[in-house]
Structure 1
């Protein structure tokens, strides 16, 4: 999480991206297999907005801008005690391949203030928006005061961006009594409106954790799918699956054009991590969902990862090199909480049993299988050993707790979740016990429903020790309009005694972490097929310091 300066990052990476993806793919595949990658496959990922070797884009005079370039809003993320990452992307024509910016770099001014009127500016500077990075701007603002709310904005030519609000993390040794977070995931644009984000923008939270599936690769028709636009016709460019760098960039433009999503980003700093759909459904490491050579898939993954970084408030430490990106990282909130943000897609073994629900067996229980990869697993367990925080919070993607889909002992489990990687889960659980974690909270996305789990030492023994708690935050929109009790509600609640709550509506989770307990409020809306549904609290639970387990609040 050590911040890196923008000029150094761009000098290292901006002008040889094609070389980076090819060399990284070679590392994955070995020289003999890599040589089978065709020129057409290489063009799949990097055929758009890339300079020739040694070229430097000319600089545009920002005064030439004739339309608002801040159509995709602003965002902040990964707050540290003395810094925060600020983001925007210039796109006066967001549904054009180049955003309407052409191939020139542009100077963008930024400023950070203690007040929303920008009378008390404490930091300001200039950043360059490069065409090689889709004219995105990532500013790692240094020298801020810990635990303070700030306001920020950008200027390009005569245009000023909307103002955003952010905050720094408290000092590492700050003794806090409380902090609040929001947890969201899974926002298929075509499945409905972002009503959940409109409500989240108004919530009093310190930070929002996005747990994956920010983007979906599936086609979006001219009516916006379930949104059913009658006064807007989306361009045909969205009505296809994302494959190329241009496709992924344009799809982020579509998602980020949503005003409710913009409002949530402007209101709160985000900590983001991806799952599968930012690239392709249920991919595993270098293995795609469909029958495609890994060499070709890694080029698609490189395009997806690149567009993800360009469109998220991430530091240059997360800038991809070809198909690889270091996304797992650690944040601290005083002495109250340590947040370990995982990546459970990039390093995982291929799903067992053709990725179909299946009872545990030799294939899924192979000790060599991993969901995190060995290096990330060691980083996680070492971080727990060194942690002095009261709460250790794991922000990750897929269900950690066991979920039986039937009432028999051999009922199927999800092979895409930790149930399909039980040896990997057992190592993590052993590491949590060895580190003496007393207050362990897991934040989960992926499943499009809200769950509350007790994390058991032995999931098949309801009387075994409860090691921690897990919440799944439902989805912002994926799954379309939900229902309170899905068809599988009764079966899953009976089959999994450690499952304390299950709700199928869209929503988010709000978590209040304190020195005596953590409170989890599951927030839901009734519909997203039409905008404006009110927010309700479906259920609330507490888990107590030193006495883990989901208890009704």
Structure 2
């Protein structure tokens, strides 16, 4: 049996050390050479932890002109070190890698041969070792996962989605980094946004401008946008504290993306969609601490001992185009959200899983949502938020509601094979939800549920009160009541808040704590606990909890 995971108080001191290191100025040499020395301006990160491995990431700026997306800058040798202590007296692995303009001077190292369930510290350096202008990156902390057969008593993820640069500051990341009790940071999509400046911001106001200012279309554009995001100090602090596990959603490409296009892509003026998606994916894999998996997508599987399998989805690369309700195609077996290969991969992985819990990193909501009785003044902004047809029909065709054949196949697989303790973890819709995933929504609760779902709200992106430009928890309460009234499997919905979640998994239960920010437009925003819901092992049902995990 593995040792118990460290509790929050036990790691606060280590957190402070890492956070302090991340805040230190770069160790440049003579002032006269500082302008031309290589620099680490975009932080460091780790990701996709394994029992014996971890992916390390950084970006080196070899010269002032070698900004993200420029294609400029000489090849630069970067050294990396991974140690069992923060003083780097016990080096576990080290090496060198060459950064070049071909990868936008990003660096990724897939380190193997490590010890399971172990904390490590890492750093990068560039420039001649003996030279006064040698530069060392911030020191960061990471952790491998437990051995595949290990008994794990607790797992905690910070969970977030939908971080729009122009709509506010990433205070959510700062608060997650400060906790000191997380095993990993799980990001569920929309890490960047593709819009031009001012098109989608904070109630119509730009809090801080995008770079580039125009809608991103080319490889250089996507690289530049990723680079701007990685300058955020709170984002850098979180990446330096825990490993990241990320999937993409639509805005890493363009709004409402599907395999052959997107709502926010006009071929006549914005070029070929295949080229745009390829550019977006290349930039994503360059700039994110994520291993490309099958066919260069993000669907893959991680494991935390015998406690949990984490199945990570890609619901954009293979999906059929979204359709409107009423055209007879929503239920068609010829349309897919996942693609055949990914559906088979997911079903076989769920059936073969021998862990207590099966967690699914899910881009769009799987629980059905019917909107029958909303007044028009609420239905239209809510339809815009959820991606509903403008005429106010009842199903969000960008979610699993628009691909009901795929949903039925997956839920039938869970039910007929007796697969329990399946929890969907979802982002996308800028609102927080806790729901049972019903076997048959029309006859719930008599028909029971086959899984549960936790949806986290946005870090900064506009939600319903922002679209309406009204005070939070006013008109949205009418919408929330109508949603719950028409959907008995939905236990809770918050349509207004910005924030994040903390997911704790134990053998007995999985619990999501929801935290909200005081003001996304303020860099010093505070956070407070809002609600908690859990699903007990074996129940496939959500229930409220009146305190967060300790």
In terms of mean alpha carbon deviation, does 238-247 or 121-130 score higher? 121-130
> C-alpha distance in 1, partners of 2:504/2:68?
42
**Structure-2 residue corresponding to 1:418:** 400
Q: What's the secondary structure of 1:197's corresponding residue?
A: helix
Q: Would you say 1:268 and 2:242 are equivalent positions?
A: yes
| RMSD of aligned alpha carbons | 2.5
Q: Would you say 1:305 and 2:281 are equivalent positions?
A: yes
**Structure-2 residue corresponding to 1:351:** 322
**Structure-1 residue corresponding to 2:313:** 342
**Structure-2 residue corresponding to 1:330:** 301
> C-alpha distance in 2, partners of 1:221/1:496?
35
> C-alpha distance in 2, partners of 1:175/1:352?
45
> C-alpha distance in 1, partners of 2:500/2:219?
30
Normalising by structure 1, report the TM-score: 0.81
From 528, 534, 542, give the equivalent of 2:526.
534
Q: Do the aligned partners of 2:40 and 2:137 also contact (CA within 8 Å) in 1?
A: yes
Q: Do the aligned partners of 1:94 and 1:253 also contact (CA within 8 Å) in 2?
A: no
> C-alpha distance in 2, partners of 1:254/1:90?
14
**Structure-1 residue corresponding to 2:449:** 466
Q: Would you say 1:121 and 2:64 are equivalent positions?
A: no
Q: Would you say 1:492 and 2:449 are equivalent positions?
A: no
> C-alpha distance in 1, partners of 2:539/2:442?
20
> C-alpha distance in 2, partners of 1:501/1:460?
18
Q: Do the aligned partners of 1:127 and 1:137 also contact (CA within 8 Å) in 2?
A: yes
Once the two structures are TM-superposed, the CA of residue 228 in structure 1 deviates from its matched residue by: 3.7
> C-alpha distance in 2, partners of 1:155/1:74?
11
> C-alpha distance in 1, partners of 2:183/2:124?
22
**Structure-1 residue corresponding to 2:370:** 404
Q: What's the secondary structure of 1:110's corresponding residue?
A: strand
Q: Do the aligned partners of 1:341 and 1:396 also contact (CA within 8 Å) in 2?
A: yes
**Structure-2 residue corresponding to 1:58:** none
From 503, 515, 530, give the equivalent of 1:511.
503
Change (3 A) 1:260 1:532: same
Tell me, which stretches of 5 or more residues in structure 2 are unaligned? Answer: 1-32, 128-133, 375-391, 467-471, 546-550
Q: Do the aligned partners of 1:138 and 1:314 also contact (CA within 8 Å) in 2?
A: no
**Structure-2 residue corresponding to 1:28:** none
Equivalences for residues 444-483 of structure 1 within 5 A: 444-463=426-445, 464-479=447-462, 483=472
> C-alpha distance in 1, partners of 2:228/2:45?
16
Q: Do the aligned partners of 2:51 and 2:147 also contact (CA within 8 Å) in 1?
A: yes
Deviations 1:402-426 (A, max 9, x none): 0112239x95110100000001100
Q: What's the secondary structure of 1:395's corresponding residue?
A: strand
Q: Would you say 1:549 and 2:541 are equivalent positions?
A: yes
**Structure-1 residue corresponding to 2:290:** 314
Tell me, which stretches of 5 or more residues in structure 1 are unaligned? Answer: 1-62, 319-323
Change (3 A) 1:312 1:370: same
Deviations 1:421-451 (A, max 9, x none): 0011001111222332210110001000111
Deviations 1:263-298 (A, max 9, x none): 111111111111111111112112232442798110
Q: Would you say 1:214 and 2:197 are equivalent positions?
A: no
Once the two structures are TM-superposed, the CA of residue 93 in structure 1 deviates from its matched residue by: 6.9
Equivalences for residues 25-104 of structure 1 within 5 A: 66-67=36-37, 69-91=39-61, 97-98=67-68, 102-104=72-74
Q: What's the secondary structure of 1:202's corresponding residue?
A: helix
Deviations 1:171-221 (A, max 9, x none): 000011111112111101001111111101112110111111111011236
Q: Do the aligned partners of 1:348 and 1:372 also contact (CA within 8 Å) in 2?
A: yes
Q: Do the aligned partners of 1:213 and 1:278 also contact (CA within 8 Å) in 2?
A: yes
| Count of aligned residue pairs for this structure pair | 475
Q: What's the secondary structure of 1:187's corresponding residue?
A: coil
**Structure-1 residue corresponding to 2:493:** 502
Q: Would you say 1:364 and 2:356 are equivalent positions?
A: no
Q: What's the secondary structure of 1:112's corresponding residue?
A: strand
Normalising by structure 2, report the TM-score: 0.82
Change (3 A) 1:495 1:402: same
Deviations 1:140-161 (A, max 9, x none): 1111100011111100111111
Segments of 4+ moved more than 4 angstroms: 92-101, 224-227
